[in-house]
Amino acid sequence: MKRLLCATLFAVAALTGAFAQANLQPLVVVKLNGHETISLKDLKDTVETYQTQANKKFTIEEKKEILESLIDQKLIVQAAKKEGISFTDTQIDQYYLQNMSQMVGRQVTEKEFADIVRQTQNKTVDEFLMAQVRMNVAQYKQYLRNQLTAQQYVIAKKQAEINAVQPSDKEIRDFYELNKSKLVWNDMIHMFLVSVPKNNDAPAAKAKIEKMISDYSSGKLTIDAMRDAGKNPAAAGYVAGDMMIEKTEQYATVLGVSYERVLQIFGEPLSKASSLKETEGDYQFYVLLEKYNAKMLGISDVIQPGSNLTVYEYIKANLANQMKSVALVKAVQDISKELNVPANVERKKTGAELDKLLTW
């Protein structure tokens, strides 16, 4: 019985080792600037991520396309490094935080993001990213470094072609005609908001903001004075600034209040200080400065109250960005084609042998 058990365990270990060896098989070596191997495991991990996002299983041909994209990425990054393009750890950390902040919907630190993930997902950030993109934090930052490096290289090589792309006047006006029913102002309010953080001394914070409310109501303190002082929160002891609030359920969600509360705010009078509001971290009050009725925007109207940007310029900028994105993709394809030659790429598995490895 012991012999049978040992034989079984050895067989399982050998099988596991065989799978591990198979996954480590090199498919391609990219050698434009150094030697980087793309293994079967590298491809599997990337394919699994894309399949999860697409909610479908890929064909052998689609897996080959993903392999080619991995080759192109490594070629461009190696070419960039060869020309001295690089980013500091600080720059990568900042870019990482931009990505995480976009995910959350506000600016966060790494610690704040870790706390949010732990509270909402009951996971570490490593566990969260592994579930989302099959990378831990260090691997994801390296991915971002490669993305930025490749993008910088492509833009440097093809900047003239990319920047030359601009929409015509006809394209801008045609876009407006097709989409003008969506180019509207909702009912909006221009609000001035003041926030005094508690900073472990809630009574002092409350006394400070109550005096501000009293001084504003009596005319001793103006909006302009608070706006100027609020530019230096550390010295002022409070944060102050202008906000535009829309009368929509979506905007109520962004503010973290009910839609009924938004409707109440819209019914309040202009120029009058609100009652004192308390949150977990601060005390607040606001003043409504102006109300704007909903309307459909003409092509010469400004895109938002208080802005100098017209609908025409807004459409022009967005169309230009879309066209430049297309031009950037083409530039990547052109550069990849130039670099993807036998001298720079050694393919270890091809034809039927590669197809067999991609049948998982």
Sign of CA dihedral 341, 346, 352, 356: negative
The SS3 of residue 208 is helix
Q: How far apart are CA 70 and CA 26, in angstroms?
A: 13
Q: How far apart are CA 80 and CA 151, in angstroms?
A: 9
Residue 58 lies in a domain: yes
**Where a domain ends, among 48, 67, 84?**
84
Which residues, 6+ apart, have CB-to-CB distance to 29 below 8 Å?
35, 36, 37, 38, 345, 346, 348
CB atoms near residue 59 (< 10 Å): 10
**Where a domain ends, among 296, 321, 346?**
296
> Tens-of-pLDDT digits for all 360 residues of the chain?
544 554 544 444 444 454 455 678 999 999 999 999 999 999 998 999 889 888 899 999 999 999 999 999 999 999 999 999 999 999 999 999 999 988 887 888 999 899 999 988 999 999 999 988 888 999 999 999 999 999 999 999 999 999 899 999 999 999 999 999 999 999 999 999 999 999 989 999 999 999 999 999 999 999 999 999 998 999 999 999 998 889 988 888 867 788 998 899 999 999 999 999 998 889 999 999 999 999 999 999 998 888 899 999 999 999 999 999 999 989 999 999 999 999 999 999 999 999 999 998
Residue 257 lies in a domain: yes
What does the block give as tokens for 308? 């100098």
Residue 34 lies in a domain: yes
CB atoms near residue 149 (< 10 Å): 21
Dump the DSSP string for 286-333. EEEEEEE--EEPPTTSBSSTT---BHHHHHHHHHHHHHHHHHHHHHHH
pLDDT at res. 6: 47
Residue 231 lies in a domain: yes
* Beta strand spans in the chain (E): 26-30, 36-39, 184-185, 188-197, 239-246, 277-278, 282-292, 295-296, 345-347
Number of domains in the chain: 2
Q: Residue 198 sits in which domain range?
A: 185-296
pLDDT at res. 12: 47
Residue 335 lies in a domain: no
